[in-house]
Each structure stands twice: as C-alpha cells, then as structure tokens.
A and B are shown apart, each in its own frame.
Chain A
C-alpha cells in the first residue's frame, strides 16, 4: 500500500497547481504498478520525452506547459525531433520542423536545460556516484547507472517529465542498493586482448550482451583492457538497443564491480555463460545488413559524438576528402561542437567534407533524403535501428573503416582482427 508524504498529497490535491497535480496523479498510478510503498526524492532528471513523434507527444508537452509546469530539480533535455538551425539542409518536412520546434519550446518553458543531447552524462550535468536521479533515454540510463553509479530506474518517455515536475519517484528497483546486484554472469572466454582493444569491440560486446541478458542485470567478467569512457558509452547504447539493459556491471571496470563478489553484492554468482570470439564475430555480423560495397552515407554519433571522439576523428581525416558521391555526417550536441571548435579538432573534420547535425539524430528526425539507401557507421545503436526505422541497409565498422570508406566511396573494412583464424 502506497504511503504518500504530506508534500506528495499536496501535489496530488492540486495545492501546488494543476501541473504538479497531473504529474503526481500519473506518478501515483505508476507507483502502484511498480508496487512501491512510498515515493522518494531525486536531485536530477533527464527528459527523453523531447523527441517529437507526432501529435500525441506534442499534445502531452503542450498540455503540461499550458498548465504552467516547472521542473522541481535540475533537468536536462534529450534530443529533439529537429536540428533547429540546420534542418533546411536536409529533407525534413517544414510541418514536422515546426511541430518539433513547438515541442522543444514546451519543455524549455518548464525550466529544463536545453541541452538537446542523448549524452547528458558528458556535460556539466553529469550526475555523481550514488546520486538519485530520474533519467529517460535508454543509452543514458544504462550509462548513468553502470559507468557512473548514479541511480535511476529505466524510465519511459512521459514519466521522466512527471518525475522532474514533482522531484519524486517510486522508491523501487535500481534506486535501491539491494536491487542493483548482478543477476547473471557472462564471462569472456579466450577473447584476445588485441580484439578487446579494437574500437568495435565494446559496441559488439554490448550488442551481444543485450540479446543475452533478457530482463536481468548482467555481470561481464574477463575484460582485460581499460576501456575509454566512449567505449563504455558504445557498450551501454548497444546493450540498451538489442536488449533492455539499464544496469550492467563489468568486473574491474565499473564502480559497483571492483570484484566479482562485489558485483553480486556477496551473493553466490550463478554459473557463467561463456562468450567466445566466435560469438563476438557472429554478433558483429548481425550489425551489418548490407552486402557489397555501395555506400551513400557514413553516419557517426549515436550516442552524440563527444569531444574525445571528435579528437580521435580529426587526425584520421586530416588532409583527406570525402568522396563526392558520399555524405559524411556526425550527430552531436551544441556543447560538444563548440568544444571541438575551441580545441581546434573541428576544422579538419569540416575541411574533410563532414557535415554536423545538432540537437537530434537521423533516427529522431526525418532528415535523410530517399536516395540514401546504404549507411556505414561505427555505432551499434545506429546499426541496430536504421534498417527498421529508415529502411536503409547498414554496414558496421571501425572509425578508421568509416573514414577510409568515405574517402574511397565504397565500403571497405579491415577484417584482420575479426576474420576467422
């Protein structure tokens, strides 16, 4: 039976105005669904409901905004449905752009920070270890929980904003220490360090783990390298696309898993499921749906490209040119683009012929013209969703493969590490 605080009841009764009443009424019904005994405070939120899909998402945003909704905690905003400044360069219908912009405005009016990024954890609004937060956006949820050790349930669109307006969440699930213990064990078996160092490895592993984990919290053992943050970001995004991973533990890598024992919070680990090099090869093959060499576009940046990723890309493209038949697009945030510009790594990327889209991505905005049929990417998330959402074929490869393919105007991949020995 749900016990509400005096504040919760005041919101539910409308004493704090109509917007907190609406948000709290939804939250209370959801607390029953979750089986929560009480609500608890959060100190930050990230709203994924910003993505314009159609009239319903716009109705919801504008209804809350019209009721005078204000966020109660520091709140960042996820990608929107349109690149506000750059959409005219693409195939976005003007009606879509107008409605997506209205939806952006509605959330801005609530006092949230208009960051428009799916990688809020790489901005100044990165939460701290142990911080209680309510985040939407599947990749961000998995990253915040697993890589940072902040605590959020897997929040769906439209609930994230209710949490932000009330500053409250059902006290259940991943907010609670005991619910964060690992539930299944996956162990890399004989996967060579050289392969683990390859820049496709963590995205491929994430794709595979997502398909294996079901609704469990996976613990991954046998990582022999120290992955850069963007590789863990790629893992999180991949596992939250092919699966429903909201929290993973990587033994010796992520903060709640310094040891195998810690990952299971002292409970006995279940028998390990082995992941072999052959399993990883098969998972990598799944990420490619195209055959042959035709290439219309290289697409990078899901989740949004970071400064570190711009910095890796710059020396690869310096002095080269994108093939005239191929587009090369990087999706990122305004903040990261500005940082890349300041640090001098953006100039060679633009000189190479790359375009930059901000605020959104090719999955969230109908920006690609119909003649774009074949994509190449180093993002497992783009590779997972593009065939279904965009009716395109896709090739997954390394960052260097993507650059070389864009220059040559055809798909080329260095298979030396992934070829069957």
Chain B
C-alpha cells in the first residue's frame, strides 16, 4: 500500500488540496492547455480533453514551447490553473510561472519535486494535501 505521507521538495512552497491528475507524459502548456477552460488540449497527450483546473497536476516535466510559463500565468489570472504541480525533477518553467503569478497577482501555486518512486506511486483521483514544507499527505 502506498505511503500516506510523501516527502516532496518544495521548489515553490505553498498549500493546496485537491484531487490528483497524474500523467507520466511531459506536457507543453502552450499548445497543450487552454487557459480559457483549464483543459488539456494536446491531442497527442494521454490527458487530452481532461480538465486540470483546480486539480493537483502531476506531470514529470515540461516539454516543448518556452511559452508554457506564459500560458500558466494566464491560467492563474483567469482562475483556470492547476492548484499545484508535482514533478519528478526541478522544472524551471513551472517554478517561474508560480513566481511570476506571485509577483503579478499574489497568487503563487505550489510546485513540488518528488523522487521518481514517489511520483510513480501517485494515482489520478486520490485526494492530496500539500503542506508548506513540501510534504504531501494522502487524505
């Protein structure tokens, strides 16, 4: 059985709670995320058509366009961003989006890096709570 507590590393610290949306495939938010709806639109991605707004999105890393950050900041402004993003390594794109969302709108979102084994234990639909320390609790 999966551990109830996962020790994540807070790349951008923050609190969040929500249901997990998990993929092992990298994602470009530009061309991959509609910030008007909060839906993943990359037709080549397994989560195509799924709404990620308000959910805790676990995606190993960003790929593709440099504009991934800009799309994420637009989503924060529009209220359609994921509640948090969990990754397998330090992803500068997601971190920057959160930092700029903080600077511009006072609305950062947690970005947490996980060990690959912990990332692999995540399942879509499970309820997660992210704490300031980077600890993630299954609730």
A residues with a Cβ closer than 8 A to B are 22, 25-26, 29-30, 33-35, 48-49, 51, 53-57, 59-60, 63, 136-138, 141, 153-160, 210, 214-215, 240-244, 286, 289, 363, 384-385, 387-389
How distant is the Cα of A215 from the Cα of B63 in the complex, in angstroms? 8
Tell me the smallest distance from the CB of B41 to a CB of chain A, in Å. Answer: 5
In Å, the complex CA distance between A285 and B79 comes to 37
Q: Knowing that A34-B92, A56-B73 are A-B contacts, what are 17 other residue pairs whose CB atoms are under 8 Å apart, sorted by A's residue number?
A: A26-B96, A55-B77, A56-B76, A56-B104, A154-B92, A155-B66, A156-B93, A156-B97, A157-B70, A158-B69, A158-B70, A210-B63, A242-B64, A243-B64, A286-B44, A289-B43, A385-B31
Please name all residues of chain A whose beta carbon is closer than 8 Å to the beta carbon of B73 when the two chains form the complex: 56-57, 60, 158
| The one of A26, A137, A159, A388 that contacts B31, using a Cβ cutoff of 8 Å | A388
9 A-B pairs with the lowest CB-CB distances in the bound complex, closest first: A244-B63, A156-B69, A157-B70, A385-B31, A136-B66, A56-B77, A33-B95, A56-B74, A48-B66
- Beyond A48-B66, A156-B96, A158-B96, whether A22 also contacts B74 by CB under 8 A is no
Q: How many angstroms from the CA of A26 to the CA of B42 in the assembled complex? A: 29
- Assess whether B92 is in contact with A33, with CB atoms less than 8 Å apart: yes
Measured CB to CB, the nearest residue on chain A to B101 is: A56
How close is B109's CB to chain A, nearest CB, in angstroms? 14
Check if B50 is an interface residue, CB within 8 A of chain A. no
Q: How many residues of B contact A (CB 8 A)?
A: 40
Please list 29 pairs of residues, one from A and one from B, whose beta carbons are closer than 8 Å in the complex, sorted by A's number: A25-B103, A29-B99, A33-B11, A33-B95, A33-B96, A35-B90, A54-B35, A54-B74, A54-B77, A55-B77, A57-B73, A57-B74, A60-B100, A60-B104, A138-B65, A141-B66, A154-B66, A156-B69, A156-B93, A158-B69, A159-B92, A160-B66, A210-B63, A244-B61, A244-B63, A363-B31, A384-B31, A385-B31, A388-B41
